[in-house]
Amino acid sequence: MQQTETVIDLQQLRFRWCDNQPWTIDIDSLQIKQGERVFIKGPSGSGKTTLLNLLAGVLTPRQGHCRILGQQLAQMKASQRDAFRADHIGFVFQQFNLLPYLSVIDNVTLALQFSSRRRDRVTHPEQEAVRLLDQLDMAEPQLLAQPVAELSVGQQQRVAVARALIGNPEILIADEPTSSLDADRREAFISLLRQECEQCHSTLIFVSHDQSLQQYFDRSIDLREINGAALSQSFSEAAQ
């Protein structure tokens, strides 16, 4: 892949949850290049999670194009989109990222279960999981043996990062992964995330309503500026 290749390309993208409602997402154009570390900010309810769902192919746009890694998601069948997500995208949620009934290692290798492509890239899933966890400072034997529900929130988030990275997906999407961490840990977590993405040459899309985090990223996008829907909404709110 060339350094300049466009990984995400949105054109006239429009989405709403229900008919007869204003658009939740209305983006004229947005491109993200391979290897970029992008920060997307926006207040609560501005459609950040909705946008990520569109990027990950869980939702399909009502109008416009959503091209990921050169593929038109809208033209795929639902099952193909699910497979595409499994193959190419790692996901980190705000919190509660782990399945309580799986061990730390199994939570990491879970990402391989639904993707033969990522499975094929990893010869020894458990070793690879431990290697990633080790980079994230999470490979202590007693930590690995602990039930995931007993890990601290920060530790759980690091396990989630390991899961998102295993098998080298091209894109890593994080939806407010630091909102339940305190300021010090937040900084450490983000630099860890950056570092890992750099090593794997993954594109990082990091979403948060916390403006102060944008300093850690190459590029910062304000959803309110690119999302026409939010604009018209805030206008109408202001008018009232």
Ligand X SMILES: Nc1ncnc2c1ncn2[C@@H]1O[C@H](COP(=O)(O)OP(=O)(O)OP(=O)(O)O)[C@@H](O)[C@H]1O
Q: Which residues bind another protein (CB under 8 A)?
A: 49, 52-53, 56, 58-59, 78-79, 82-83, 85-87, 91, 93-102, 106, 110-111, 113-115, 163, 175
How far apart are the C-alpha atoms of 86 and 11, rounded to whole Å?
24
Out of 42, 90, 125, 177, point to the residue binding ligand X (CB under 6 A): 42
Which residue number, 32 or 159, has a Cβ lying nearer to another protein? 159
Give me the phi and psi of 127, to 5 degrees please: -60, -40
Nearest approach, Cβ of residue 106 and another protein (Å):
8
Kindly tell me the sign of the dihedral angle through the C-alpha atoms of 57, 153, 203, 163: negative
By CB under 6 A, the count of residues binding ligand X is: 11
Where helices occur in the chain by DSSP H, the ranges are 48-55, 78-88, 104-113, 116-121, 125-135, 141-145, 153-165, 183-200, 223-226, 228-239
Nearest approach, Cβ of residue 91 and another protein (Å):
4
* 49 scored as a contact of Mg ion (CB under 5 A): yes
Query: In this structure, are residues 223 and 233 in contact, taking their beta carbons and an 8 Å threshold?
Result: no
Out of 48, 81, 85, 186, point to the residue binding ligand X (CB under 6 A): 48
Q: Which stretch binds Mg ion (CB under 5 A): 45-53, 61-69, 136-144, 224-232?
A: 45-53
Q: Is 125 helix (H, G, I), strand (E, B) or coil?
A: helix
Give me the phi and psi of 52, to 5 degrees please: -65, -40
User: Which residues of this chain interact with ligand X, rule CB under 6 A?
Assistant: 17, 24, 42, 44-50, 209
